[in-house]
Chain A
């Protein structure tokens, strides 16, 4: 954080009310920090107690009170896979359209952007309702990994598209001009220049999209359901880690300990994902400044 404020200029005129807001804002920060540390440390220490390698690899026993989360992890990965299989091509194509093809038709672009902005704010439970009525009922997929993954895809798309569009837009104009002047077709400009150059940014979008999908619960409860067995096909119901935590907390008395450990696993994955995105971002910033 660069310090922008010329402290020395006004240091000599700290009045009483100046000290008051200094104290109030410091106290707020202290309060927030304590609450947050409480949350993080509580989950870390109580969750760490149950964390063994076998927790990740063994089947749950007794409705999840004992045993591990192996089928949950498999279901989570499958749902995530379905979601990304839809999101990556559709999101990339939309991002390409928004960043490269909008000049001739700005009205359509405005419409698409506005729709995406609104979509990004729609509550996840509403996506759940939509998924339940379209994927589960209308398309007859029932409570399944497929329904859950497709519902998640609708939810995550706006965020991935926004990230993708920004990173394609940030590719310097000279590269497009240079490639066109060499007689590249649009397809080659895209695959040969734009996508490779924007790749770090595109991966950040992908990573953040995965993070968002992993964190989601409400949209999945009645689309992918919460069956705890190992899924055998994409049409089986399966629960994600988030749904597992919810179920252990709400519907399984005595599931608290394993709930803590599952929460720790989920947070650890998300922290790793966010750290990865952060490192990538810093690398981009670094490269730009060479």
Chain B
């Protein structure tokens, strides 16, 4: 019957689409690897650590300042954003009354939608001049970390808030019944119970911060040098790619693709660590093991 062959075609079409979409990740890995092959053969992995400096024109490809730059900026941003974000989430969950809580939450939700280039722009025209007046040159590790922290804060706040409100009410009743004060209730009961959710939030924020390009490109100063203080300018892996990709050729280009591959590996690792912490998604369980009393219908 023609209808059932149409059904078969539909099933196959969606499968082909799904598989091709699933292939994108593989394709990215393959093409990045292919494009960075000269980095392995011509330059050699060791050169990325051993070379004297990053002078692509002289065939010197020391990536250490950029890797350090990425890690330092991300670490400082995370150190600023995590306690602040969790504190704000606690406020939202336990202290905010009606209007105040709702408007704060609305503001934070609004900020999740602000593009990173706007954060970068604002950092460049508003934060950097202020910092420069305090401690030249302004565009620095500190500026990048500050703006980056602001950018990832909404993620941390909203996800931690969700994790905290997901803690069963009975735990809090039990805490109250044991006559624990609110401090003990929050720090010894709620936060440990919400730990996996909060860690997932922080890991997600970490992934976004380390992969972020625009903010650091615009406010970090982009000087290839290990920073000696937070007021020094710095260049990250992502900014390096964005700055040099337009004119990079041959080995230089391969080196940039290699740093992209490095980022990809780093973020994939974070996703895997994140999966360890987040619990199994419930819909998987029902879809895979249907029971007779809660049958999951699907197309034959």
> A104 to B298, Cβ gap below 8 A?
yes
A-B contact pairs, 9 of them (CB 8 A): A1-B105, A20-B183, A25-B90, A25-B91, A32-B84, A93-B13, A169-B283, A173-B295, A185-B7
How distant is the Cα of A82 from the Cα of B17 in the complex, in angstroms?
17
Closest Cβ of chain A: how far from B27's Cβ, in Å? 7
B20, B95, B257, B284: which contacts A90 (Cβ < 8 A)?
B20
Closest Cβ of chain A: how far from B257's Cβ, in Å? 6
> B183 to A119, Cβ gap below 8 A?
no
Given contacts A21-B186, A25-B88, A90-B17, contact A36 B111 (CB under 8 A): yes
Interface residues in chain B, defined as those with a beta carbon under 8 Å from any beta carbon in chain A: 3-4, 6-7, 10-11, 13-15, 17-28, 31-32, 34-35, 83-84, 87-88, 90-96, 101-102, 104-105, 107-111, 113-122, 124-126, 150, 153, 157, 165, 169, 172-173, 176, 179, 181-183, 185-186, 204, 207, 210-214, 217-218, 238, 241-242, 245-246, 256-257, 260, 263-264, 267-268, 270-271, 275, 283-284, 287-288, 290, 295-299
Q: How many residues belonging to A are interface residues under a CB distance threshold of 8 Å?
A: 107
Residues of A close to B241: CB separation below 8 A? 125, 128-129
Beta-carbon nearest neighbor of A242 in chain B: B117
Residues of B close to A13: CB separation below 8 A? 179, 181-182
B114, B210, B275: which contacts A267 (Cβ < 8 A)?
B114
Residues of B close to A109: CB separation below 8 A? 287
Beta-carbon nearest neighbor of A22 in chain B: B95
Residues of B close to A42: CB separation below 8 A? 122, 126
A21, A24, A260: which contacts B182 (Cβ < 8 A)?
A21
Given contact pairs A108-B19, A246-B117, enumerate 7 new A-B contacts (beta carbons under 8 Å): A10-B182, A17-B181, A38-B126, A123-B211, A129-B241, A130-B32, A217-B117
Given contacts A14-B182, A90-B21, A102-B287, contact A173 B176 (CB under 8 A): no
Q: Does A85 contact B (CB under 8 A)?
A: no
Residues of B close to A93: CB separation below 8 A? 13-14, 17-18
Q: Does A132 contact B (CB under 8 A)?
A: yes
Residues of B close to A163: CB separation below 8 A? none
Closest Cβ of chain B: how far from A21's Cβ, in Å? 6
Given contacts A101-B14, A116-B21, contact A126 B263 (CB under 8 A): yes
Closest Cβ of chain B: how far from A2's Cβ, in Å? 9
How distant is the Cα of A246 from the Cα of B122 in the complex, in angstroms?
11
Q: Which of A24, A126, A216, A250 has the most CB of B within 10 A?
A: A126
